[in-house]
Amino acid sequence: MTQKRVLVIEDSYETQQLLAELVLEPNHYRPISAMDGEEGLRMAQEENPDLIVLDMQLPKMNGLEVLEALKEQGLDIPVIFTTVRESVELVIQAFRLGARDYVIKPFGPIEMQEAIRRVFSTGALRAERDQLTQKLVDVNQKLQRQIQEMNVIYTIGRSVTSLLDPNRILNRVVEAAVYLADAEEGLLMLLDKDGDELYLRAAKGLDEKIVRNLRVRVDDSVAGRVINSGRPIFLTGSQAKVATGYLSKALLYVPMHTSDRGTIGVLGVLNREKERSFTEREMFMISALADYATIAIENARLFEAIEVERAKLATILQEVEGAVIVVDEADKILLCNSAARTLLELSEAEEDVVGISIDQATSHPDLLGMFQEAHQTDRVIHDEIPLSDKRTFNAQLTPIKGIGRALMMQDVTHLKELARIKSEFVTAVSHDIRTPLTTIHGYIELLPRAGSLNAQQQEFILRARQSMDTITELIDTLLDVDRLEAGYEIEMGPCNMIDIIESSIKEIQAQAREKEQELRWDPSAHPMMVYGNPNRLRQVIDNLLSNAIKYTQRGGWIAVNVEQEDGHIVTQIADNGIGIPPAEQPYIFDKFYRVESKETLSIVGTGLGLTIVKTIIEKHNGRIWVESRPGVGSVFSFVLSALKESDRQTAIDRA
């Protein structure tokens, strides 16, 4: 430690001596002395001592004048003054002028020693405090700067999510990079489509001439090196070349990474004039900005792609012949193509329709009914919508997860008309064929009576009769389907499913026995009442039972079951027969549809049985479905509403 120097400004030689020998030297301070005020001041200026012991009564310049001069000259040297009289004004004045302590003359060495120690220790504390304050100011400034930097990065982040214009975002990113790195210039370059050149996308402070056509090759540029390595690059001096003829003194480039397309560009800052090179910390900040720029570019790209898809979809929807309406979960229209607008006689412009609710768009009870029903089920709802202009539309309301529902409507007027013509034709032809058939039938019956027949002739007649029976049955069935489809009201009343099944089983039992099949039926003690037509329901059971027997091997089983569930009667006819391949299941209820396989090859049928069954069930407002596995068996189930006590009473009253 260097020895502390103490300047004693004192006109008494004895006091000088006393201080030097008894106070300063024993405590390892080096004494310097001045005998008057002027000399003292000069020495204070020249020597810059660590402490001044100043007598207040001095020749030439008194103590207060010395203190004043010291203060004026900005010399911040701690001063202990000595005085013979302890005047309050003097002490206050001296302290105001910066004195730190005082001692009353005459004083003993211990007294002065204590005062010196106090001054030095408070001096040290003060220095320490000043140092800490300075540090605090520095840290505070740094923090302020960091907060500002964070703010810049945060603002850029926010604009990435709120601004869709990528040009503005990228220009802001470059500006922020220049600010954060305290750079002179900044630039953002992107890879072109071919991936072999980088072009300038945004710049700040760059020379105008360069901005206009800055393009660099990936295999021959600093930016290209960043693209290839995927890592940041710091350069200084002669290496820091941006493009041909464009040099900078310091440069920092960071890559712009995407997860699926790799590195797509670079964000860089440059110093053309300043020598200062960029720091690691600046690199991190610029990298954060580069990430934001990448997100902005990716967002813009995705947005563009979505926009193109949306436009395509909108065009397709507008162009399709059918009417399409998409609604949200609250039945508010999101989309309505022109066919739908024409159909519902809505405004020409789509924007007038979007946002209104479906019941504002139409008052058609069937359509509104479909939307109401849709709120109770996740299934697709179908319906036929007759319009006042005699046209008929096939409507399908499909739930769309996360969006709402889509209503699609197709004009089926001409199909309905075709079906009517076809049906009329079938009825006419069937009727017309029936008469000659009856005649043929009669003559076949008469043939044996016309003379004796040999065995072969009898065999031929038997085959002819069998074929006749098949044709007659087919025609009867066709006429039946036709009748059902024509929608004639069938007479309804309360009927017990148990009775219907019992009577059907009684009749069909013989067929099962013939094939050595077990017919399982365990009727419940309670009646299972439905509101329906007993003959038609019997037809359903007959068809399902005869199919089960037909399509189940010899020795198999068939089981019938009826149960009541929440106001519904569920009837099931199960077998362990050949089953139906899943791919065929959706079509077996279609007219004339038969499964073609080696198992069904020898089984005769028309493919109309299940059509009749389904039509009858639907006439009863019921639903029928099949569950089946090839080689395991099939279960046909249908559900009808159970007859309510009130319905039964009404039916009885009516009777």
Query: Does a cis peptide bond (omega within 30 degrees of 0) precede residue 106?
Result: yes
Least distance to ligand ADP, CB of residue 591, Å? 8
The C-alpha atoms of residue 558 and residue 578 are separated, in whole angstroms, by 12
Least distance to ligand ADP, CB of residue 575, Å? 5
Query: What does the per-residue mask of binding to ligand ADP show for 585-624, with x meaning CB under 6 A?
Result: ---x----xxx----x----xxxxxxx-------------
Nearer to ligand ADP, 93 or 585 (CB): 585
| 548 belongs to the binding site for ligand ADP (CB under 6 A) | yes
Quote the DSSP letter at residue 642. Answer: B
Segment interacting with ligand ADP, rule: CB under 6 A, options 50-58, 348-356, 509-517, 570-578: 570-578
| 551 belongs to the binding site for ligand ADP (CB under 6 A) | yes
User: CA separation (Å) from 283 to 180, 233, 287, 289, 626?
Assistant: 10, 9, 6, 10, 68
| 575 belongs to the binding site for ligand ADP (CB under 6 A) | yes
Tell me, by CB under 6 A, how many residues bind ligand ADP: 21
Nearer to ligand ADP, 333 or 574 (CB): 574
Among 152, 634, 638, 639, the residue binding ligand ADP under the rule CB under 6 A is 634
Task: Encode 63-99: b = buried (16+ Cβ within 10 Å), e = exposed.
Answer: bbebbbbbeeeebebbbbbbbeeeeeebeebbeebeb
The side-by-side arrangement of strands in the sheet containing 633-641 is 518-521, 557-565, 568-575, 633-641, 623-629
Residue 110's φ and ψ, nearest 5 degrees, are -65, -40
Least distance to ligand ADP, CB of residue 599, Å? 8
Least distance to ligand ADP, CB of residue 622, Å? 17
- Per the CB < 8 A criterion, the answer to whether 96 and 67 are in contact is no
Segment interacting with ligand ADP, rule: CB under 6 A, options 50-58, 89-97, 497-505, 574-582: 574-582
- Per the CB < 8 A criterion, the answer to whether 11 and 58 are in contact is yes
Least distance to ligand ADP, CB of residue 536, Å? 16
Q: Which of residues 113-142 bind ligand ADP (CB under 6 A)?
A: none
Nearer to ligand ADP, 23 or 505 (CB): 505
Using DSSP's 3-state secondary structure scheme, residue 177 falls into helix
Q: How many residues does the chain have?
A: 655
| 578 belongs to the binding site for ligand ADP (CB under 6 A) | yes
Least distance to ligand ADP, CB of residue 652, Å? 36
The C-alpha atoms of residue 562 and residue 526 are separated, in whole angstroms, by 10
Nearer to ligand ADP, 224 or 579 (CB): 579
Least distance to ligand ADP, CB of residue 630, Å? 9
Segment interacting with ligand ADP, rule: CB under 6 A, options 36-44, 434-442, 529-537, 543-551: 543-551
Among 198, 577, 615, 622, the residue binding ligand ADP under the rule CB under 6 A is 577
Strands (E), 130-249: 185-191, 197-204, 215-217, 233-236, 241-243, 246-247
- The DSSP H or E segment spanning 400 is strand 392-400
List of residues contacting ligand ADP (CB under 6 A)? 547-548, 551, 575, 577-580, 588, 593-595, 600, 605-611, 634
